[in-house]
Structure 1
Amino acid sequence: MKMNDMDMNMDMGHHQHEMGGGDMMMHGGHMMHMGNLKQKFWVSLILALPILFLSPAMGVWLPFQFSFPGAHWVVIIFATILFFYGGRPFFNSAYYEVKDHKPAMMTLITLGITTSYLYSLYAFVSNTFFPNRPHVTDFFWELATLILIMLLGHWVEMNSMMKASSSLHDLASLLPAMVHVKNGDNFKDEALDQVQKGSTVMVKAGEAIPLDGTVISGTSDVNEALVTGESSAVTKEKGSSVIGGSLNNSQTLVVKVSQPATSGFLANVNNLVETSKENKSKLQTLADRVSGWLFYAAVLVGLLALIIWSIVTNFATGLERMVAVLVIACPHALGLAIPLVNARSTSLGSKNGLLVRNRQVIDISEHIDYVVLDKTGTLTQGNFKVEEYHTFNAKISDEEILQLTASLEQQSDHPIAKSITKLAKTKQITLKPATAVQTLAGQGIKGKIGDVEYQVVNEKSLAKQEIFVPKLANNAATISYLVKNNTVIGYLTVGDQIKAEAPELIKQLKKQNITPLMLTGDNQAAAKAVAEKLGISEFKAELLPQDKQKIIKQLQQQGHKVMMVGDGINDAPSLAQANIGVAIGAGTDIALDSADVILVNSNPIDIIKFFNLANNTHKKTVENLWWGAGYNIIAIPLAAGILAFAGIILSPAVGAIFMSLSTVVVSINASLLKL
């Protein structure tokens, strides 16, 4: 199985381009940190310092600024280096935005800094070599501050959104590096990727099953919880199918390999996760759309200003008006509007046990109308517990039923056996020595206590032995019957415990007109019991991972927006397929890395906290977009000279002041975000 070392869960567009110098990757208007963005910002700041001190700010000299003979040469040199070094990521990304016919934030930034630089270059040449001509105001100061603010904005954004590490190699960690492969009469260790289909491999107790296959000898309990979601261990014997990545608990198994590492169960899960991520990544963010509109508006208004003013006055005035429009349209505040809200939202979320890894879910959350919940580990604890134990024999007490059952089960590693022996210890019941203990594959266990033979078996085993099965009211839990001399003398029921917060979660979801749907790999009776206790009317049981993903896909095809909440590797494809994937923090690494949101405290009620956080973040984002871009609605027409007849013309200098004020406003507004 080939695993990627880097798997960044960002909206990447439909293709991927690595930028030169290893600095960043840009996709559909978004920067992806592939090197040291922090270093790029600090180097750009050093390059910008001479410009900030030696070039007039917004057309006026500030108190801390100064000049000296030849200072303009220092400014042009540092501005040129800054333009190409600090601006390079924006140019590269703008190229792909234009190539995709989707100009957005990066194209708008590129337009602004390129216009600022070229016009300033023209101003430098005019003022230096043609001193008799009228003085032309340069925009070097605006160029430097714009590049710095945009790099800072993306640094803030990357820090808050890119902390999640690569995940798919965690899938591989479920599989052993070396496999015991039959070679003649002996078994020899071979690398996993060298094992061919049809090979015979040995899996010792406590080892992970390396590849999908069929058991050809041996009997053992296998824990498939991580890969299928089935909460209890499954007995495997000759002829049983086994899945790569599941854990062999008790005895040695010899398995004939049916699938190589590249096409087994885990490889398919990996492919499903990647495919679903690709499908979801085509969403476009609101900021990109706003930037796209601004880009077209600025170009259109700028060209109109150039043409009209050139006709009315002269070309020089028309050029100045066009430059003013293009520089003013440059989104200082817009570049920080969303990163600042994201940073505040991420900080708030982490304090409340929420890790939001994909910012797109903030926009999607208000449209969610289905929340799909995995049962084991999400709505239930995932820990088995003896719910009840009773006798059918008047001469034997309930406590003796527990004592005899626990005595037989005391050597077993099976989760149900452990829950029985744990209860016996808690009740300080002394266990009796059991001899000739034998596992009955797929049925239970038998052995002797003293001279009497007992069995602890399931209903299937009783039917096979034609032993009378007493009918019990509770058929939703796992039932183990204690048999003595072909007669059932008592029973124990073992069930998974519902999380205390789960009922409140379902109640709150219904209150918000969201339909909860429970999906599980567990049996129908257990699923129905949990659904009834929680008040869930829609549930599906005995599902394979691909079934869960198909159900989510069907809901989406019907027009529903789906959130999936799960914790196992079996949930990874479903988490990736859903519009929002939410992983329980105590779950597996691959589930966490397939998710958009992680509930760090494994508390299902935090789903409601997420909805609150997402709604508030969305509101602040929209507000900030209005503050960040709204001033352009007034500034662009004024810069174009629409009110020139009334003596009102907005110079780039005044426009830059408004720009700075909107940057302050979006910063304050972002800090006011509350959960």
Structure 2
Amino acid sequence: MKRNIECHVEGMMCEGCAKHVREALEGLSGVESAEVSLEDGRISINYDDELTDTKELEATVRDAGYTLVLPGEDPETPKGATAHPTDGSEVSQKRLFTVTGMHCAACVSAVQERLLKTKGVRDAEVNLMEGRTLISYDDRETSPVKLREAVRSVGYDMLIDEDTEVQDRELMSSQESALRLLLRKLVLTAVLSVVAMGLMMTHESIGLSPKLTYILSFAFGAIIYIYAAGDYVRRAMKQLTKGSFTMDTLIAISTTVAFLYSTIRFVFVEEPAQVGLMHTYFDVIGMIMTFILLGRYIEERAKRRTTDSLRKLMSLAPQEAMVKVGESFVRRDIKELRVGDEVMLRKGDRVPVDGILLSEGAFDESSITGEPIPVEKVAGDEVFSGSLSVGRAAVLRATKVGRKTLLGRIIATVRRAQASKAPIQRIADRIASVFVPAVLVIALLTLCLWGLCSDAPEPWLRGLDHAISVLVIACPCALGLATPTAITVAMGKASRNGLLIKDAVALEQLGKVTDVVLDKTGTITVGQPKVVDAKWATEDNHLLKSLLVQAEEKSSHPLASAIVSRYGHRVEEDLPVEVRETAGGGIAFDYKGKTYRAGQRRFVGDPDLTEGMQQLERLHPDSTLIYYTCNGELLALLVLEDKLHPETEIALSRLRERTGVELHLLSGDTQARVNAIAAPLGIKKAQGGMLPLDKKSYVDDLRKDGRVVAMVGDGINDSPALASADLSIAMGNGSDIATDVAQVTALGNSPFAIERAIHLSKSTIRIIYENFLWASIYNIVAIPLAAGLFTSVVIDPAVSAAAMAFSSVLVVLNSLRLRSVRL
């Protein structure tokens, strides 16, 4: 019986993932079609339940590396509707949101804890930088609106629009508004604070009575408390009802205690001159808030610089394009472009979509690949969105638009990577969870110990001074900013240099790599093999060439394109060829009852060679040989060669010198060919004749010996080893499956990419540890000083506020040093 099932696929990150899932399912007997939507992770499968069942569907998707979340088994589920599972499995969504209003690690902890306590939320990863938040949730139990309500309940807000571009526009708009408001608060608070302090110091000389000075100081203090500190107090109140403690709590308590104490003195002391005006904190509240707001303003401006790279990437997409309508080109909004549209590119135009050139052109792809030299392209070549047209006017046909373009995928990956957390961030998270409560306890102890044990005049007043200083000087912000600022700058730096790093875990892991395993084709070679010689068994070979070309056109192996390029122009027949591809071996297909094979000698059955073919083998001992047979009889021997990338030797030498890693070379090619390539490159460990699972086993053996392994590859046959390695790196011109599996993608195919990635990782980790060291030393030294542990040093609340603001700004500025790291 024909059936249709609607369900979710988990783990898809790009169009290549969706394609892989679709092809895996459509290759299953009984499946007629599978339509995959990358945007919401849903899939619609039409299948015959007499030939297959849901368990096979689930197993097929699992074998492809993803998870199929099945609906219930009710056969009455209407087409297009999603039945929820009845066996306890989850229908989950994983979406990127933006939380606004967070300032420190404790804020992040409060939001994350609240989200994790929300019914239906399976996981939540909150990042301080721009509030990027990845949430996995069960869409039967909660929704984006409910998630936003949960975030609002602890004093923050969340942008929930499904379109990330809309989220970004809303975020930028809210950031601009918040920054302007912050500046207004800063200016007003600073002016009122200076005036209040001036009145306290000069009221007698200008003829003001103590009572009037008190009244003016109270008025200025009240305005500052309500206008500048009010937001902190309101958020702190919301957080306290949920049992959360953040930087807002420290600021709210310190300013509220100071304001209430001063107000009580103002109301109940009849003659201010008797007690002295200096025993109030109205001016101190102003100075505290001035330094806090000044630090916040500088910090926010500096933090925005850490995300400049993402903004620059987003600016590479033009808003309009010249699209062919009828016989002329008209200007259209980029959102109106569709696959198949013809787009004109003039000199200086940014490419709006991915497409195939219909004419010649030259393009600067440095913003995408990091390579500064413009690339000359001809009709039929691929052009990527975000590139700059620098030659004559050209026309392309769109193949991918919007978020499916290379630029769209890069932006999405960078956005998700900046939202992810490095394992090292867990240190700050653990500290943040106890930091604020610990500071509150220290402040209370400071007040009590000074009040009960000190013999100083007015000990309780002295204790209150020190307690407020402790609350203000303590800085969880520096700890919270230590990792995310560095990660955000590093991800931007990577994208500008043609490195696409999927998450912070990969960035951290790069710095720990001890061994780099290289695949040969397309990794250290140019990746553009050519047929340099051939020997055919018969001169009447037009049909044989046509069959071979049409079979190779359906293969994703790099060598296939070389054969198609050599013989494709001679093909005329449209022959029905069903291709079976064996990774690491070759291809096989049937035609008119005969079985044809093309690939390695052992794959095609080790056929007998003619004298001419034996001579060809001897002439090319270090080349790649493709044997073409029909029912075991040799039809042709093809010789293919791929040149080393001209910079490979220098790049690998620098990789060894700067990182100290051990290099390994693996290939399915002959051992002689692999040795011939490895020797001049100084690679001592080289293995030929490796099948995909052999490469995986090689990587597994290294890992068993305690090595941290990075696997570099570019093809389907590399995907098992890529998945098995501690870190996977794919070259950007490789197959979709290789780049999907990989944690790092080198878009420019530069041999220097590996060394750059590892060097960037080590620089980032060093900066993070420097940030942690500074934040730790600051708090360890500053809190005891503020508490009056060293009586020879007295830090008043205003100075404490200045110190706290400086500590956060220093962490951000230190992270920005990564922008100047030479890769």
Tell me which of 216, 219, 226 is aligned to 1:77: 226
Aligned position for 1:654: 799
Aligned position for 2:46: none
Tell me which of 725, 729, 737 is aligned to 1:582: 729
Letter in 2 for 1:369: T
User: CA separation in 1, counterparts of 2:114 and 2:308?
Assistant: 21
User: CA separation in 2, counterparts of 1:324 and 1:54?
Assistant: 23
Q: Does 1:537 align with 2:678?
A: no
Tell me which of 615, 619, 623 is aligned to 2:766: 619
Aligned position for 1:368: 513
Shift of 1:327: 1.4
> CA 1:594/1:312 → structure 2, altered by over 3 Å: closer, same or farther?
farther
Give CA deviations for 1:257-295 in whole Å, capped at 9, x if unaligned: xxxxxxxxxxxxxxxxxxxxxx99655356557767966
Q: Which runs of 5+ in 1 are unaligned?
A: 96-106, 166-278, 393-400, 426-430, 448-453
Aligned position for 2:336: none
Aligned position for 1:311: 452
User: CA separation in 2, counterparts of 1:40 and 1:368?
Assistant: 41
Q: Does 1:419 align with 2:426?
A: no
Letter in 2 for 1:321: H
Aligned position for 2:530: 385
Give CA deviations for 1:165-217 in whole Å, capped at 9, x if unaligned: 9xxxxxxxxxxxxxxxxxxxxxxxxxxxxxxxxxxxxxxxxxxxxxxxxxxxx
Aligned position for 1:353: 498
Q: Does 1:563 align with 2:704?
A: no
SS state at 1:372 partner:
strand
User: CA separation in 1, counterparts of 2:308 and 2:786?
Assistant: 36
SS state at 1:367 partner:
coil
Whether the aligned pair in 2 keeps the contact of 1:354 and 1:600 (CA below 8 Å) is yes
Aligned position for 1:329: 474
User: CA separation in 2, counterparts of 1:461 and 1:519?
Assistant: 19
Shift of 1:369: 0.5
Tell me which of 739, 751, 757 is aligned to 1:610: 757
Q: Does 1:491 align with 2:634?
A: no
SS state at 1:598 partner:
strand
Superposition RMSD on alpha carbons, in Å? Answer: 5.7
SS state at 1:564 partner:
strand
User: CA separation in 2, counterparts of 1:520 and 1:78?
Assistant: 68
> CA 1:280/1:669 → structure 2, altered by over 3 Å: closer, same or farther?
closer
User: CA separation in 2, counterparts of 1:369 and 1:463?
Assistant: 39
User: CA separation in 1, counterparts of 2:198 and 2:737?
Assistant: 54
SS state at 2:463 partner:
helix
Aligned position for 1:226: none
Give CA deviations for 1:149-178 in whole Å, capped at 9, x if unaligned: 67667666666689999xxxxxxxxxxxxx
User: CA separation in 2, counterparts of 1:589 and 1:9?
Assistant: 27
Aligned position for 1:409: 545
Structure with bigger RCO (C-alpha 8 Å, 6+ apart): 1
Give CA deviations for 1:459-502 in whole Å, capped at 9, x if unaligned: 56986887768653457755356899x99797322355543444
Q: Which runs of 5+ in 2 are unaligned?
A: 1-7, 13-39, 41-93, 99-104, 134-157, 160-169, 201-215, 315-419, 554-558, 580-586
Whether the aligned pair in 1 keeps the contact of 2:601 and 2:607 (CA below 8 Å) is no
How many residues align? The count is 525
Aligned position for 2:663: 516
Q: Does 1:2 align with 2:140?
A: no
Whether the aligned pair in 1 keeps the contact of 2:529 and 2:642 (CA below 8 Å) is yes
Shift of 1:328: 0.5
User: CA separation in 1, counterparts of 2:239 and 2:795?
Assistant: 27
Letter in 2 for 1:606: A
Give CA deviations for 1:350-381 in whole Å, capped at 9, x if unaligned: 44323445345555444320223344433344
> CA 1:487/1:303 → structure 2, altered by over 3 Å: closer, same or farther?
closer
Whether the aligned pair in 2 keeps the contact of 1:521 and 1:543 (CA below 8 Å) is yes
Letter in 2 for 1:52: L
SS state at 2:786 partner:
helix
- 1:438-517 equivalence runs, <5 A: 459=601, 471=614, 472-473=617-618, 479-480=625-626, 491-511=637-657, 512-517=659-664
- 1:149-228 equivalence runs, <5 A: none
Give CA deviations for 1:432-451 in whole Å, capped at 9, x if unaligned: 9999999798668999xxxx
Whether the aligned pair in 2 keeps the contact of 1:161 and 1:359 (CA below 8 Å) is no
> CA 1:296/1:420 → structure 2, altered by over 3 Å: closer, same or farther?
same
Q: Does 1:113 align with 2:247?
A: no
Aligned position for 1:273: none
Whether the aligned pair in 1 keeps the contact of 2:519 and 2:712 (CA below 8 Å) is yes
User: CA separation in 2, counterparts of 1:661 and 1:419?
Assistant: 60
Whether the aligned pair in 2 keeps the contact of 1:369 and 1:514 (CA below 8 Å) is yes
SS state at 1:494 partner:
strand
User: CA separation in 1, counterparts of 2:498 and 2:690?
Assistant: 31
> CA 1:574/1:656 → structure 2, altered by over 3 Å: closer, same or farther?
farther
> CA 1:468/1:619 → structure 2, altered by over 3 Å: closer, same or farther?
same
Aligned position for 1:224: none
Whether the aligned pair in 1 keeps the contact of 2:443 and 2:471 (CA below 8 Å) is yes
Aligned position for 1:32: 132
Letter in 2 for 1:582: I
Shift of 1:330: 1.7
Aligned position for 2:361: none
User: CA separation in 2, counterparts of 1:311 and 1:127?
Assistant: 21
User: CA separation in 2, counterparts of 1:549 and 1:85?
Assistant: 56
User: CA separation in 2, counterparts of 1:464 and 1:574?
Assistant: 27
